[in-house]
Structure 1
Amino acid sequence: MREGGDGRAGGGHPPGLAHRVPDLGALELLLAVARLGSLGRAARETGVSQPAASGRIRSMERQLGITLLERSPRGSRLTASGTLVTDWARRIVESAEAFEAGVGALRDRRDSRLSVAASMTIAEYLLPGWLIALRTQLPDTAVSLRAGNSAAVARVLLDGEADVGFVEGLGVPAGLDGTVIAHDRLLVVVASGHPWTRRREPVGLAELAATRLVLREPGSGTRQVLDSALAGHGGLAPPLLELASTTAVKAAAVSGAGPAVLSELAVGEELSGRRLVEVPVEGPALSRALRAVWPRGSRPTGPARQLLSLTRSR
């Protein structure tokens, strides 16, 4: 076998610290023996059997190549080398305890706040209920919400400015992973006095495409679904109005500005009060998935994960 220039076989790297330094459990056992003067009492304190504790000490002695304890019927006493190793072990264990405390503080700080980005329909009609439920489970977590269209939600997540997002549309935005949490139907609605309320036949997709509608802006989930559904029918006509929120679109439709396409979640009260009327549309329903999303390669943790579990249970 070829010798390396440093005298080690093959010139390979030395084994890492994990192979050369005893694990924390073994060091804690050694400290207990030093403090209690008995391997049996140390075994009981650390929650292992005496034979297991004895085997662990012997394994540590073989690993280090030195004798740590002198054993006798009266108990176990540290050797001179064992005393030095115990002093060093105490520093390692104290450092590990400081490491654990620091990580715990970081985790507590992370878990004390939650930043959510959500598309308008989800932010207005679904998220409030989820956040109320989250408050009962995590009363000390401060929640901030950024609402925008689905494209804006994706940007916020990719910029690292939110822990989890919720979008509507045809798929998961580029650079994100996600899961479907619900499905939503899009409705064509008009004010109660609109001529479409008196028609006997459904509105065809070609007619819908040619009609100037009150619409959400490009980048919204609603607009993505409409653009896709009507692409084979000439595409959308220039909008009658192009508005940046579901509430604004709904208000314009109620006022009689013109037909609008809105989430079923958003128009329940207006339909039941006859301030808006649903107009049947020919062909398959206009539907979309509602998704929770997060940056690709990561998974939500802490309060974000708790929020996700609530969306699936409600």
Structure 2
Amino acid sequence: MALPTRVADLTGFDLLLSIAKLGSIGLAARAHGISQPAASSRLRQLETQVGVPLVDRSPRGSRLTNAGALVVDWARPVVDAAADLEAGIAALRAERDTQLRVAASLTVAEYLMPKWLAALPAGSAVALSSGNSAEVAELVLDGKVDLGFTEGPDLRGGLEAHSVGRDKLRLVVAPGHRWARRRINVAELAATPLISRERGSGTRRALELAVRPLDLAAPLLELSSTTAIKAAVIEGIGPAVLSAHTVAAELAAGTLVGVDVAGADLGRELRVVWRAGRSPRGLAADLAAIAVRGS
């Protein structure tokens, strides 16, 4: 329901409450941070709006008319309620500014995001979800998260992005695999069934582009978990291509062996993404800046 025109603007009623409390238009004007002429003008507008005189002015001060006293009694709870509404809205904005919804691809979520989040101001509340790069892009486009981090080479329409650094994919095998002590070429990699991430994964998409114009062989096994892929490789089921971040510990321990690939650029770009036309603000801007500096 639309507010009646006589009460749609509460600023005049708020001024009238101050006149009733302080006994002077001048003191009320000072309390509201406006000049006395501006206060007098606002009061005249209110009296025109209400349709009756509300204040008797005299050299000794200002006194409410009988009608003015009634209007003050009626206006006080309305103005107080408006103040409560404003305070509530301010609280919601403050809560929004200290809460951040983020989605990140699995590699970023597990291996990079923890140090980025630790650099945010103390008390920042972040809800983090993870998935493959296509799923992250969908969450951002749907407005379900404020910011996304992807590792795929493709940028969906409706998104804007900024690079947060480079990542390198590594071909890894078990120590007993026939590739463990040799270098292979891109044609051999493309022709060999791999233990692979699912479609929509940034890692899989980056590998598809790295072997072009060749096509990848059908996967030996598709898994949506990097941990599961590493376990399968260690068990000798087959080779896999994963982010260097995800296999660093296993390569250092010797449970996985890295294999060089001639003729393939296995580097890729990591990105922070947001909805087009809605540049990150507040905590989202802080996190994006931290990621750019920290990758």
Q: TM-score of the superposition, structure 2-length normalised? A: 0.77
- Secondary structure of the 1:267 match is helix
1:232 aligns with 2:218: no
> Which residue of structure 2 aligns with residue 10 of structure 1?
none
Q: Which runs of 5+ in 1 are unaligned?
A: 1-15
In 2, Cα distance between equivalents of 1:268 and 1:306: 28
> Which residue of structure 1 aligns with residue 227 of structure 2?
247
In 2, Cα distance between equivalents of 1:313 and 1:39: 56
Q: TM-score of the superposition, structure 1-length normalised? A: 0.73
- What amino acid does structure 2 have at the position aligned with 1:69? V
Q: 1:20 to 1:283 in 2, by over 3 A?
A: farther
- What amino acid does structure 2 have at the position aligned with 1:77? R
Q: How big is the shift at 1:52? A: 3.2
> Which residue of structure 2 aligns with residue 7 of structure 1?
none
Within a 5 Å distance, the mapping from 1:64-213 to structure 2 comes to 66-104=52-90, 106-107=92-93, 115-134=101-120, 137-138=122-123, 141=125, 143-154=126-137, 162=145, 164-173=147-156, 177-191=159-173, 194-196=177-179, 198-199=181-182, 203-204=185-186, 206-213=187-194
- Secondary structure of the 2:218 match is coil
> Which residue of structure 1 aligns with residue 272 of structure 2?
291
Q: Deviations over 1:160-217 (max 9, x none)?
A: 765544332133446x6353352333323234555546546x623x332212222212
- What amino acid does structure 2 have at the position aligned with 1:311? A
Q: 1:81 to 1:301 in 2, by over 3 A?
A: farther
Contact 2:132 2:202 in 1 (8 A): yes
Contact 1:184 1:265 in 2 (8 A): no
Candidates 5, 25, 48, aligned match of 1:39: 25
- Secondary structure of the 2:161 match is strand
Q: Which runs of 5+ in 2 are unaligned?
A: none
What percent of counterpart residues are identical?
Answer: 48
- What amino acid does structure 2 have at the position aligned with 1:150? S
RMSD: 3.7
Q: Deviations over 1:122-171 (max 9, x none)?
A: 1110122233334x5226x3x55433223344555677765544332133
1:259 aligns with 2:264: no
Contact 1:189 1:279 in 2 (8 A): yes
Q: Deviations over 1:1-32 (max 9, x none)?
A: xxxxxxxxxxxxxxx86976564443322210
Q: How big is the shift at 1:258? A: 3.8
